[in-house]
Structure 1
Amino acid sequence: MRLLGDKISVIVPIYKVEDYLHRCVDSIINQTYTNLEIILVDDGSPDNCPMICDEYAKKDSRIRVVHKKNGGLSDARNAGIDIATGEYIMFIDSDDFVDIEMMESMMKNMIDNNVDMVVCNIKYVYEDREVVKYNQVDRILDKYESMEEYLKDGVVQAVAWNKLYKKSLINDMRYKVGKTNEDEFFTYKVVDKTAKIYYNSRPFYNYIQRDSSIMGKYTIKRLDGVEASYERLNFIKEKYPSLYLNEKKTFLNLCIYSYMMILRNKNIDRDNKGKNILSNYVKELNFTSDEIKQYSLKDRIKVFMSKKSLNYCCKVLSILGSPQ
């Protein structure tokens, strides 16, 4: 066991995960990097999680437990940020677990390369198999490259949890409470505050795939993600204009996908509120003739059809058997 450098505050939001919690917390307390402040945030969990958290706190002085009224994932993460005292912050979801060398390796990347954030590779863990997200080598990205990777869902992703942050990056930031897709309102703004990000290609983070997770099924709350993407689109237009054209196309595709999911699940939008929200987003997208010329023929057709009617566009695409 090694005590290296500054303290990492590890924030773990917890709600109804008693079958997974021991594995998660054990993977943190057994890290080879030992200078940790482990903040377990019990978000009003109705099962045995509160008791499990308290038992861990009795065994390890590095563990702090917050018991709070249920407020959702964003609220739980914010509660952890509010009391964190480490120079660095890491988030780990309580149904996942991490390899024991993760924090030592990522802290070494942070210090040796003088970066603001370190991102590690991800291992998707299914019942019958494991899949590593990316097959790339370690590298350092400047802010523009990092944002480019983020927008194309590359090695810098929206998720909060496979990252080591300088706490100074997020001192004045908090997650939006009451939103699903909460990471998508948050992470791109953090990326924008960095000068350099280190990508560690080792798949240290084990992302458990389970049907009962928050993102497992499509519901109307998933439109929070479209809202986040629209905010990000306007942010990119102002601060990264060279990335804006492709991001606008990405946003249109997201609106089309979301509308098609509502068409396939009619019971989730009986008052047509979701369809109206998506249609209004598309109406606000203004494509110049010069912009459209830079798109592929398929994308041009989608632009023209969606501007005529998003409903019409999605029905045609459904007939053609295209998801978007």
Structure 2
Amino acid sequence: MISIIVPVYNAEKYLNRCISSLLNQTYYNLKIILVNDGSIDNSKKICENAAKKDSRVKVINSVNEGVSLARNKGLKRASGDYVSFVDSDDYVEPGYIEKMLLTLKKKKVDIVYCSAIVENINGVFIQREYEKNKLIKIQNYDWNSSEAHCVVRGALIPKWVVSDLKFDKKLFVGEDTYFFAQCIKKVKCVYCIKNPLYHYVIYDKSVSHGNSINRLVTEIYAWQKIAHLFNNNDSAKVACAMRCKKMLLENQKNKVFKNLYYEDIAKIYKNYFIIVIKYFLARKKIDSAIKNCIFIILIDVNFRY
């Protein structure tokens, strides 16, 4: 038995596609948990209709409390041996579950995650996440590499791993990154599948791309937690620093960000600066090291002006 948790909020335009992709899995023994997080469109009706048509679909209706608490409610209802997370505006390939489960057993690993096709609302291809299969021992997990999986979607996780974990409701962006980090902290090795079994759809009003700056900055707090969780792994600190750098660059003209958050996030970056330079030099990425040396000089200039 595998439980698939789907948080749902005002997803009527995409929900049928998502549910259909789950019901049409080549692996049948599923429990599909649709958590309707207080939707005010037709999402509730779509969920309940799906449950009437297929006994594998279970619906949880609640008031709107956010994606973290919605996923937590789904976790409470999860049963079986493994869990997987799918977002209601995304969809998966027919072999999504079966291929990950077979890989997990064949490779004798703890967690498996797959590549995804990133596309826009019109189905136009943007990018593919992973280009090769790879077994990764957690002691060698590089959080700043292109192979690092930093989300919960597109993964198959043993039920025992998540049994005592919860999504942090104080994090509005990066909550799934921190949750997945806690998962892999508990295991010995993971496996990356290059096959794009998941379709990640980006659209303007999605939670992770349409938040106010006050919510967006919680991504940095999530990465600070990960850096602390993996205290002996410098790549986690580098990944945190790179998120800080990205946020500083993207919001340098945002007055709210500059007044409330710029200085604190710049400080986090500075704290990890030496580790960042050592990380890139050790990998012979001289250009990246130089760019970060230039950036740390520009931080204070941007703050003053």
TM over 0.5, shorter chain: yes
SS at match of 2:230: helix
Of 90, 96, 105, 1:102 maps to 96
Distance 2:201 2:230 in 1: 31
Report whether the alignment pairs 1:183 with 2:172.
no
Per the alignment, residue 109 of structure 2 pairs with 115
Q: How does 1:1-324 map to 2 (within 5 A)?
A: 7-126=1-120, 127=122, 129-134=124-129, 136-145=131-140, 147-148=141-142, 150-154=143-147, 156-179=148-171, 180-217=173-210, 219-220=212-213, 221-238=215-232, 240=233, 244=234, 246-266=235-255, 268-269=256-257, 272-282=259-269, 284-285=271-272, 287=274, 291=278, 294=281, 296=286, 299=289, 302-303=292-293, 306=296, 310-312=299-301
SS at match of 1:66: strand
Residue 214 of structure 1 and its aligned partner are, at CA, apart by: 1.4
Query: Please, what is the CA RMSD of the aligned residues?
Result: 2.7
Deviations 1:260-279 (Å, cap 9, x if unpaired)?
Answer: 3222222x437x11123213
Percent of pairs identical after alignment?
27
Structure 1 alignment gaps of length 5 or more: 1-6, 317-324
Distance 2:76 2:11 in 1: 23
Distance 1:137 1:286 in 2: 30
> Which structure has the larger Rg?
1
Structure 2 alignment gaps of length 5 or more: none
The two structures have a TM-score, normalised by structure 2, of 0.87
Distance 2:231 2:294 in 1: 22
Q: Tell me, yes or no, if the aligned pair for 1:256 and 1:314 is still in contact at 8 Å.
A: no
Per the alignment, residue 322 of structure 1 pairs with none
Distance 1:30 1:192 in 2: 32
Per the alignment, residue 3 of structure 1 pairs with none
Residue 205 of structure 1 and its aligned partner are, at CA, apart by: 0.3
Residue 82 of structure 1 and its aligned partner are, at CA, apart by: 0.9
Deviations 1:163-193 (Å, cap 9, x if unpaired)?
Answer: 0111111111111013222112221221222
SS at match of 2:13: helix
Cα distance change on mapping 1:165 and 1:298 into 2, 3 Å:
closer
Cα distance change on mapping 1:278 and 1:132 into 2, 3 Å:
closer
Q: Tell me, yes or no, if the aligned pair for 1:260 and 1:314 is still in contact at 8 Å.
A: no
Residue 250 of structure 1 and its aligned partner are, at CA, apart by: 4.0
Q: Tell me, yes or no, if the aligned pair for 2:118 and 2:129 is still in contact at 8 Å.
A: no
Cα distance change on mapping 1:85 and 1:263 into 2, 3 Å:
same
Distance 1:18 1:232 in 2: 34
Distance 1:303 1:202 in 2: 37
